[in-house]
């Protein structure tokens, strides 16, 4: 049984083998530039953001400042990380889609069923990212609001961790599914139906993204790992649906 950690290990080895590296280094360069720019911005503004949050704590909770301060820091770090992740994946999405398609050929011996061509695939990948943002941003906004509400914000770090794992699963497992013409709604349904492999995979990818600089070189391996997970855990539903459709097609 392929688990998330095994898939990530195999995927990372796969993308750095000869013949695959050219699909990896361009998204790494793009992410590195975004990473440097956002890190500079965050370091310049982090203190002011934290002071603003602490100023909103009501006086009757001052005795809990020893607990509220680290929770605010954790929430703010998670929000910054989440924003950085959205931006980098939006930019790198077309490259990761190509990488996922190449990995699928190597892993399965056949290409994905996508027949859109390179240019159309790149444009559609950006459109798919917009669909993801439409799903992610309202939920992220809800968590952001919770992070500002006294008492409720005590649970915000845990909620952000779970939400980040779910979003990482959606983000990476969507690359091979999009290549195989699985709709966004269908993709979410498949992930929900197998929620444990989905969350563990997303959780490991989330941890990878927290490794400074090294994450830039490990995330392409997560794309390859998503292809392995797709082929082992999620593709079968697609096969069943195709079989059912053939059974009801008039002859």
23: pLDDT confidence band, cut at 50, 70 and 90? Answer: confident
Tens of pLDDT, residues 196-218? 999 999 999 988 887 877 777 88
pLDDT of residue 245 exceeding 90: no
244: pLDDT confidence band, cut at 50, 70 and 90? Answer: very low
Q: What is the pLDDT of residue 248?
A: 36
Number of neighbours of residue 146 by Cβ within 10 angstroms: 16
pLDDT of residue 168 exceeding 80: yes
What one-character DSSP code corresponds to residue 209? H
247: pLDDT confidence band, cut at 50, 70 and 90? Answer: very low
Tens of pLDDT, residues 169-195? 999 999 999 989 899 999 999 999 999
Q: Taking residues 140-163, report their average pLDDT.
A: 82
Q: Taking residues 29-48, report their average pLDDT.
A: 78
Q: How many residues does the chain have?
A: 251
- Mean per-residue pLDDT of the chain: 79
| Angle formed by the axes of helices 214-229 and 65-108, nearest 10° | 60
What one-character DSSP code corresponds to residue 152? G
Number of neighbours of residue 45 by Cβ within 10 angstroms: 11
Q: What is the pLDDT of residue 36?
A: 80
Largest separation between any pair of C-alpha atoms in the chain: 75
58: pLDDT confidence band, cut at 50, 70 and 90? Answer: low
Tens of pLDDT, residues 90-144? 777 778 888 898 999 999 888 887 666 655 666 677 778 888 889 988 998 888 8
Q: What is the pLDDT of residue 239?
A: 47
Q: What is the pLDDT of residue 243?
A: 42
Q: Is 229 exposed, middle or buried (0-12, 13-18, 19+ CB in 10 A)?
A: buried
Question: d(Cα 85, Cα 175) in Å, to the nearest integer?
Answer: 15
Tens of pLDDT, residues 137-146? 899 888 888 8
Q: Check residues 239 and 158 and name the one with the higher pLDDT.
A: 158
């Amino acid at each position: 049984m392929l688990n998330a950690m095994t898939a990530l290990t195999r995927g990372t080895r796969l993308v750095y083998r000869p013949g695959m590296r050219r699909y990896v280094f361009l998204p790494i360069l793009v992410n590195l530039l975004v990473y440097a720019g956002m890190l500079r911005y965050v370091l310049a503004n982090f203190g002011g953001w934290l002071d603003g949050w602490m100023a909103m704590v009501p006086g009757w909770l001052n005795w809990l400042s020893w607990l509220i301060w680290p929770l605010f820091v954790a929430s703010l770090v998670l929000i910054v990380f989440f924003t950085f992740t959205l931006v980098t994946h939006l930019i790198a999405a077309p490259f990761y889609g190509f990488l996922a398609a190449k990995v699928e050929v190597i892993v399965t011996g056949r290409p994905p069923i996508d027949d859109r061509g390179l240019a159309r695939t790149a444009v559609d990948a950006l459109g798919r990212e917009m669909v993801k943002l439409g799903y992610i941003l309202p939920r992220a906004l809800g968590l952001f609001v919770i992070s500002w509400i006294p008492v409720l914000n005590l649970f915000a770090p845990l909620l952000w961790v779970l939400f980040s794992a779910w979003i990482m699963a959606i983000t990476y497992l969507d690359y091979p599914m999009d290549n195989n013409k699985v709709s966004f709604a269908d993709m979410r349904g498949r992930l929900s139906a197998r929620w444990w492999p989905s969350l563990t995979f997303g959780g490991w990818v989330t941890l990878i993204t927290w490794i400074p600089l090294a994450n830039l070189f490990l995330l392409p391996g997560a794309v390859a790992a998503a292809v392995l997970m797709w082929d082992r855990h999620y593709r079968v539903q697609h096969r069943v649906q195709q079989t059912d459709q053939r059974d009801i097609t008039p002859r």
